[in-house]
Amino acid sequence: MQSDEALALLDHLLPHHPLSDLQETVFSQVWQGKTYAEIADAYGYEHSYIRDVGFRLWQMISEALGQKVSKSTIKAVLRRYARNHMAPMSSPQSVSASLPLALEFPNGPVPLHSPLYIERPPIETQVMAAVLKPGSLIRLKAPRQMGKTSLLRRILAHAQQHQLRCVSLSFHRADRAIYTDLDRFLRWFCANISYQLGLEADLDSYWNTDIGSKVSCTAYLEDHVLSQISDGLVIALDELNDLFQYPELASEFLPLLRSWYEDGRELPAWQKLRWVLAYATDVYVPLQLNQSPFNVGLAIKLPSFSLDQVQELAQRHGLTWADGQGGQEQLLTLLHMVSCRPGLVRLALYALAQNGMGVDQLIEEAPTQSGIYSDHLRHLLAALSPFPGLQAAFRRVIQAAEPVSLDPITAYRLESLGLITLDKNQATPSCELYRHYFLNFLPADQPSTHV
């Protein structure tokens, strides 16, 4: 039984007493064999406080079960309870399969309390500890469909659980005109932070053309925002890679971001601030090493799921055929088409569980206009359609038997869309799904300009 399955069982046992985020964290870490001291060190707590949280947790579970439960006996007790009280299951590995599960359509981030979120250790432990450290910076790098935003939202929820204020800015939501001018962009940046914190956006009192917009923005954050924050502030910048398309603006803002991080290492006011940066690909804007925010802080490159993680997710969807070695073999057939990218895997498993579709049928229909990925694929095709040169570059990639070398801007745009995987400058299709679909529907013989 995995820790998430045991937590699902606790939801069943304690319907009127849901666990707090910290209780879930302590339970999961204890289930994985961690000591209270190790949990306290990892998450920035006093050892005695974590021990008290654990004591109250075992006491609550003991009352629900009518028997004594402790840190050392919790695994055996819950496994025995699952065997004796839950409905018969096809696989002993999946307690959650016996519990009613309403599958949400996999459109966007995985909801915070969804049992379908799969952790990728030790990433969650690392980022949850880092966000509690004053002046910290976390960098989440991964293409689309890899779970960046799902993890980002869990980081913010964890920070709020520890009384930190949180602001989340998605660069997808900024009007295109915002990116045309540094002063306008920085005012947008400050106004959004103020709005989310419930502060008056008193920009004109701090903006001074004589000292420039970067100094004005810095003064606004320090004197107007941080001065009103007592416990700490997390600013999360999602889809930061959208800024890379505007090299002149990026070359001004990114070094400014790095300077704020450096201030957080020395100045008390800026130590209140924690940064979380989520982006899809490496920045191609030339920056000096001491000006880049992409070589400091905690760097997390989100990996694809492992086969075991895909199998666990399939079991959480109630797909009993996915159990054991035979189940892994069937999953490998599916993953050969859609890869282990979390977003694509989730949609496949949802269709298999909800629509009663077979694996062979799903694979056959996947790259067609009637398949489950049709909307996703048409969206990608539409994103490529205004750019003949980008289409030509991607066609080279999907037609080639070997990796293809691409110029940095083209590689950035294709990787941001999630269409390619890069190894240095060498590009390959992210999955066979994209290769098959775009060979059929991408216009041929396009010129290699206007990317």
Question: Is 66 in the same domain as 128?
Answer: no
Give the CA-trace dihedral at 99, 102, 104, 105, to 10 degrees.
Answer: 110
pLDDT per residue as tens digits for the range 372-419: 999 999 999 999 999 999 999 999 999 999 999 999 889 988 988 899
Residue 182, domain member (yes or no): yes
For the chain, give the mean pLDDT: 88
Instruction: With 0.95 as the threshold, say if the pTM is over it.
Output: no
Question: Is 258 in the same domain as 407?
Answer: no
Q: State the DSSP string of 422-433.
A: EETTEEEES-HH
Find how far residue 343's CA is from the centre of its chain. 11
Work out the percent of the chain whose per-residue pLDDT is above 90. Answer: 62
Residue 264, domain member (yes or no): yes
Residue 83, domain member (yes or no): yes
Question: Is 29 in the same domain as 136?
Answer: no
Question: Is 294 in the same domain as 390?
Answer: no
Question: Is 287 in the same domain as 424?
Answer: no
pLDDT per residue as tens digits for the range 10-21: 877 877 677 777
pLDDT per residue as tens digits for the range 187-243: 999 999 999 999 999 999 999 999 999 999 999 999 999 999 998 999 999 999 999
Question: Is 40 in the same domain as 179?
Answer: no
Residue 345, domain member (yes or no): no
pLDDT of residue 100: 42
Distance CA 297, CA 310 (A): 30
Question: Is 182 in the same domain as 279?
Answer: yes
37, 64, 98 — which closes off a domain?
98
Distance CA 345, CA 310 (A): 8
Question: Is 295 in the same domain as 146?
Answer: yes
98, 131, 162 — which closes off a domain?
98
Question: Is 296 in the same domain as 255?
Answer: yes
pLDDT of residue 92: 34
Identify the domain containing residue 244 by its residue range. 123-301
Question: Is 72 in the same domain as 166?
Answer: no
pLDDT of residue 288: 87
User: How many independent structural domains does the chain possess?
Assistant: 3
Residue 366, domain member (yes or no): no
Question: Is 281 in the same domain as 160?
Answer: yes
Residues in the chain: 451
pLDDT of residue 97: 41
pLDDT per residue as tens digits for the range 319-337: 999 999 999 999 999 999 9
> CATH code at 168?
3.40.50.300
Does residue 66 have a pLDDT over 90? no
Q: Which of 309-313, 380-384, 444-448 has the lowest mean pLDDT?
A: 444-448
- CB proximity list for 27: less than 8 A, separation 6 or greater: 3, 6, 7, 10, 19, 57, 74
Residue 358, domain member (yes or no): no
238, 273, 301 — which closes off a domain?
301
pLDDT per residue as tens digits for the range 132-180: 999 999 999 998 889 999 999 999 999 999 999 999 999 988 999 999 9
pLDDT of residue 107: 82
Per DSSP, helices labelled H in 97-241 are 123-130, 148-161, 182-197, 213-219
Does residue 94 have a pLDDT over 70? no
Residue 369, domain member (yes or no): no
